[in-house]
Amino acid sequence: MSMTITPIKISDSEWEVMRVIWTQKATTAQEIIAILGQTMDWKPATIKTLLGRLVKKEAVRTEQAGKKYIYYPAISEGETVKSATENLFSHICAKRIGEAIAELVSEAELTAADVALIQEQLLNKQTVEKIECNCIPGQCECKHHQ
């Protein structure tokens, strides 16, 4: 299956719909409504609106099968998570990303296997001497202290 790697910005609500489509791989609006209708307390019209937006954003592709439309993911979950993480880090001063990652690790619920994976990543991580602030002056305090 070919997946586009163009970053597509999806809202929190759209993300819930994407998770169903990623899990089901091929699904109908009815199935998504059955899965999210109760848990999220969303009306069918809301879910259909979200699906329409995802099709428009090309996050989802659709094919007609008789009277029904089948929805397929057009973007991968891994790439979407990666681009959301990159987007989050783009809002933080480059000098504070390490702090933010440490905070994420300290807040997250992790298994021993997760911790082992993170430790392995840290052991292999290439470090740099110094990180330059990449902020717009006035959006960050570190420029004043340099």
Among 20, 36, 75, 93, binds Zn ion (CB under 5 A): 93
As measured in angstroms, the least distance from the Cβ of 106 to Zn ion is: 22
Exposed / middle / buried, residue 43 (Cβ in 10 Å: 0-12, 13-18, 19+): exposed
Among 41, 65, 133, 136, binds Zn ion (CB under 5 A): 133
Answer yes or no: are the C-beta atoms of 142 and 131 closer than 8 Å.
no
Handedness of CA 35, 23, 89, 110 (dihedral sign): positive
As measured in angstroms, the least distance from the Cβ of 129 to Zn ion is: 17
As measured in angstroms, the least distance from the Cβ of 134 to Zn ion is: 7
Cβ proximity to Zn ion, 120 vs 132, nearer residue: 132
Whose tokens are 């609106």? That residue is 49
Among 57, 97, 142, 146, binds Zn ion (CB under 5 A): 142
As measured in angstroms, the least distance from the Cβ of 98 to Zn ion is: 13
8 belongs to the binding site for Zn ion (CB under 5 A): no
The pairing of strands 68-73 and 60-65 is: antiparallel
97 belongs to the binding site for Zn ion (CB under 5 A): no
Cβ proximity to Zn ion, 53 vs 96, nearer residue: 96
Distance between CA 125 and CA 117 in Å, rounded?
A: 12
**Tokens standing for residue 104:** 């994420």
Q: Which residues bind Zn ion (CB under 5 A)?
A: 93, 133, 135, 140, 142
